[in-house]
Copies of this chain bind each other. A is one copy, B any other.
Amino acid sequence: QQSTFLKQDSLYKFIQPFAVVQSWATYTMGEKARLSPDESLEPVVNRLNITARRARLGFKGTPYKNFSYYLSLFYDNLGRDRYSGTRAGINDGQIGVWDAFMSWKMSSKHDLATLTFGYFRPQLSRECITAYTAVNSFEKSLSQTYIRQHMMGKNHGRTMGINIGGLKKEGFVSMNYNVGLFNNNTTSSQTETAGVLYSPLLTGRLAFSFGDPEMDKYGISYDINYFNKRKGVTIGVNASRQGHTDIYNLNMTKGVDVLVNYLNFNMDGEWMALDRSTEVKQVHARTGHIRGGYNLIINKKLFIEPTFLMTFYDGQEGGQFNGQDRIYDAGVNWYMNKKNCKLGLHYVWQEGHGKNGYTDGVTFEKGDYVGLGFLIML
């Protein structure tokens, strides 16, 4: 006797491997560090650095009808020099889990409700949920790190939870919603626990597209360049809330994002407010970016996109990160096989003050760099 509730569907593949590597060669200029205690910041020697900025390996599949899974391992930042101007960790060969989730599309008839659970990105902030393979700047916007640190205490932006979301198209307008409930095991003085107190992380996002929709079927990873296929605008509103924990009384993020695609032209941007209340104070910060690109098609063969990015963070005194942080990026991408295989050459410059990802005023200050990137997706 075998239950007929779930029928395995031979039309779908069970286990499909995939891999992505984003290789970078950067030349950093003007990076500063404090070389010994009690000294001030001094420049380190300019340097070339070759690194596997992102390296992922995984498996995905759809073992049952409407039921799919996704598992991705990472060995990012292999070879990164601490004193290169990029912002990332270091890695001497470690591998870990990046994404691990399952999705159940509740109905075959409509796309209004998909349940996603496991270890994945809370659906909030366009930049946080856009694939790094899709961004047309050299690196993702710096705002992503601040939003993730504020909301769930970790740069990688993944946590265990459950999300329900859907898609609905009505003529010229389409709607995309997501609401989620997540663990946040970073709100304690101990690691890997919510703490003595407990409060779940609640997230929500609602987006409307005008003209061509941004996706044909529901998914939890977003795109930027549609290679001249889309004429449409998408505007999203985002919010997260977590209540009383060991380290704060209330923690919130809220903001808006936008994506504009009109044939050759691609533009996206975001503005997010990060608020936290503790017993003794309230701290506010703002972060976001604006980014544009234009697809040049040369001789009907070469697909070249010049791009520009400006991204910012402004935080009040008393917060985990404060002061000003700015990154600017001007570059050009060459899509050799759309996003599956691309080259990019960018110049990235940074400035700021206070205590944040650019500098803490005492032990480090980031330099500028020229970067050559190669991304291959299998």
A86 → B minimal CB distance (Å) = 13
Known A-B contacts A78-B100, A95-B96, A194-B83; A341 and B301 likewise in contact (beta carbons under 8 Å): no
What is the CA–CA distance of A262 and B183 in the complex, to the nearest angstrom? 42
A73: CB under 8 A from chain B?
Answer: yes
Nearest B residue (CB) for A335: B3
Name which residue of chain B comes closest to A295, CB basis: B1
A64 to B304, CA, bound (A): 20
Report yes or no: A19 in contact with B59, Cβ–Cβ below 8 A. Answer: yes
In the bound complex, CA of A194 to CA of B31 (Å): 13
Interface 1/0s, chain A 211-248, versus B by CB < 8 A?
00000000000000001100000000000000000000
Give every chain B residue within 8 A of A83 (Cβ-Cβ): 193-196, 198
A59 touches B59 (CB 8 A): no
Q: Indicate if A362 sits at the interface (CB-CB under 8 A).
A: no
CA distance A330 to B117 in the complex (A): 25
Residues from chain B with a CB closer than 8 A to the CB of A57 are 59, 71
Q: What are the residues of chain B within 8 A of A182 when measuring CB–CB?
A: 50
Of the candidates B1, B191, B228, the one whose C-beta lies within 8 Å of that of A92 is B191
Please tell me if A40 contacts chain B, counting CB pairs below 8 Å.
Answer: no
Asked whether any CB of chain B lies closer than 8 Å to the CB of A300, the reply is yes
Q: Indicate if A338 sits at the interface (CB-CB under 8 A).
A: yes
Chain B residues whose C-beta falls within 8 Å of the C-beta of A14 in the assembled complex:
378
Contact A79 B159 (CB under 8 A): yes
Query: How many chain A residues touch B (Cβ–Cβ < 8 Å)?
Result: 93
Minimum C-beta distance from A106 to chain B (A): 15
Q: Which of A144-162 contact B (CB under 8 A)?
A: 154, 156, 158-162
CB neighbours of A23 from chain B (8 A): 102, 117-118
Distance between Cα atoms of A311 and B47 in the complex (Å) = 38
Give A71 to B161 CA distance when docked, in angstroms: 29
Closest Cβ–Cβ distance, residue A173 to chain B (whole Å): 28
When distances are taken between beta carbons in the complex, the residues of chain B under 8 Å from A6 are 336-337, 341
Cβ contacts under 8 Å, A200 to chain B = 48
In the assembled complex, A260 has its CB within 8 A of some CB on chain B: no
Question: How distant is A16 from chain B, measured CB to nearest CB, in Å?
Answer: 9
**In the complex, A200 Cα to B25 Cα: how many Å?**
13
Closest Cβ of chain B to A231, distance in Å, is 16
4 further interface pairs, Cβ-Cβ under 8 Å (given A6-B336, A44-B195): A5-B302, A21-B118, A81-B192, A94-B97
